[in-house]
Amino acid sequence: MGKGTEEDYKEVDAKGKIVLIRSGGGMSQVNAAQLAEKKGALAQVHITTGKQRAINYMQLRDTWGSPTPETLGKVLKTAAVTICNEDGQSLSEWVGKGRVVVRVQADAWRGYRRIRFPVGMIKG
């Protein structure tokens, strides 16, 4: 467990494992997520720091809008979830005591669909 930096992987083989990443520390979560995938992580659990029982819902890619053929490769292929600080502390303690088995279940959909897009005007 660490902040997801290159240093955190020096003595850890993440290939085929679920990595535990703590937010903050000068490295963006996007970069930490991309590095975890590059290191072969099977999935990612990100720990939110800050307010009690709060979870930061974040986007783990550095492109905005719909992916294009040029940016599609930057979209993560691994599942990533975020947990609150308190749950992250407990999980970190368990990891410190030995092997921990975690199941990450993610139901993601990627595609296009027709949606309503309301537009409002305020005349001044």
Q: pLDDT by residue (tens digit) across 26-68? A: 668 888 999 999 999 999 999 988 788 888 777 787 777 778 8
Candidates 62, 4, 67, 12; CA nearest to 33 is 4
Residue 52: which domain range?
6-97
Interval 2-28: pLDDT, tens: 888 888 899 889 999 999 998 876 668
CATH number at residue 44: 3.50.30.30
Domain-located, residue 25: yes
Interval 71-113: pLDDT, tens: 888 888 889 999 999 999 999 999 989 999 988 887 777 777 8
Domain-located, residue 87: yes
If one counts the domains in the chain, the total is: 1
